[in-house]
Amino acid sequence: MRALRSFDVFCRVVDNFGDAAVCWRLARGLAAETGAQTRLWIDDLDALQALAPQLAAGRPQQSFDGVEICQWTAHADFGLPADVVVDAFGGGIPDAYAEAMAGQDSAPVRPLWIVLEYLSAEPWVAKHHGLPSPHPRLPLERYFFFPGFAAGTGGLLREAALSARREKFLRDPRKREAFWRDAGFAPPAPGARLISLFGYENPAAAELLDAWASGEEAVVAAVPRSRLRGDVAVYLGIDAGTENATEVSDQVIRRGSLEVRFLPFLAQDRYDELLWAADWNFVRGEDSFVRAQWAERPFVWHAYPQKEGAHVTKLEAFLEIYCRGLAPELAAPLAALWRGWNAAAPLPAGATARAWSALAPQGAALEQHACAWAAQAAKSGDLVRNLTKFCAERLE
């Protein structure tokens, strides 16, 4: 198989953090896995800097973690095309760059154009994975690369060092204490159920928070900065300011059995630690959705809302595979909780709280299932390895 000498990853940030998060994780993985020159071209450096605060804000070019991070502007000098060009989420690549790729016919091999698609559990994914499509104008093929949970898909981003990092964190209580100290809080009281909340605006939030506040057991809800924060603040009757407002950061608000902690937006690697420390994780989009699975804890996914409810199809497709092997008396309330959390319209009053009260006492069984699921999902292979193999085979 031909060695891959260079990668260019092109990332247009639509909104939120996911596009930048997936591309940053991919670029770091490619550099670590292959040692090849890896450039991440990104149009919104701020989104990336929030995920990796070590990066210098606004610097058009810098290197970190084996990746050369370049600001993607209309006047950027892209230089020679790389062996492999990743067009993330179909955001496209610069026209001049595509023409340069097409002009490489004198080169030993013509660069490969990979369109990295969004993650979905829908059954059609494996059939479409890896299919070529001729460029409408240039003598170039684009290959559609689909992440996925099943064999025959591109797999999931899962860096080799992940398990060791997680086990090291879980084995050492001092690391958990350090996490809270660095986030500006004391560790939660022993025995309190820790729930992390990351999501989009959500009308179902109040009902769940109320169930926790009026419940028997102590619940600590850790709420890093996100679009869900507003709903939490409204429930607590406090002004959260705008999503980016930090006023509420570092605040602890108590209501009955519920303690809400407003956390700052954490560095991506720190966010992993929150997922590992928590008993339940509420996540969203794509990258946190996958990280929650690798955290091997029960979780609830808020799919990125899409037109015509396309996200509900994605949600149901994932629920179908995730709940396989789960006892029906757990699968039914879990699905109800997820549907309630993703409902475009509010569910019958109490439905989300009822689902929660059926699940809350079953933490051990749900965690066991989460562990079994993580092992199952990992069988589709690490996306970085699958991608490098896919490319090396086509660059023969």
Among residues 116 and 258, whose Cβ is nearest to ligand TRH?
116
Q: Could you count the other beta carbons within 10 Å of the beta carbon of residue 4? A: 23
Q: Single out the residue of 212, 220, 225, 208 nearest to residue 270, CA to CA.
A: 225
**Where along the sequence are the contacts to ligand TRH (CB under 6 A)?**
14-19, 21, 51, 118, 198, 224, 226, 265-266, 268, 271, 284-289, 304
- What is the identity of the amino acid at 241? G
Among residues 39 and 302, whose Cβ is nearest to ligand TRH?
302
Query: Which residue has the closest beta carbon to ligand TRH?
Result: 18
Q: Minimum CB separation from ligand TRH for residue 158, in Å?
A: 13
Tell me which of 33, 44, 231, 286 is the catalytic residue. 286
Active site residue 19: yes
Q: Minimum CB separation from ligand TRH for residue 15, in Å?
A: 5
Among residues 212 and 271, whose Cβ is nearest to ligand TRH?
271
The answer to whether 78 and 41 are in contact (CB under 8 A) is: yes
Among residues 83 and 382, whose Cβ is nearest to ligand TRH?
382
Q: Minimum CB separation from ligand TRH for residue 199, in Å?
A: 8
Q: Minimum CB separation from ligand TRH for residue 304, in Å?
A: 4
Tell me which of 8, 19, 296, 382 is the catalytic residue. 19
Q: Minimum CB separation from ligand TRH for residue 116, in Å?
A: 12
| CA distances to 137, 233, 284, 285, 313 from 305, in Å | 33, 22, 10, 9, 11
Which residues carry out catalysis? 19, 286
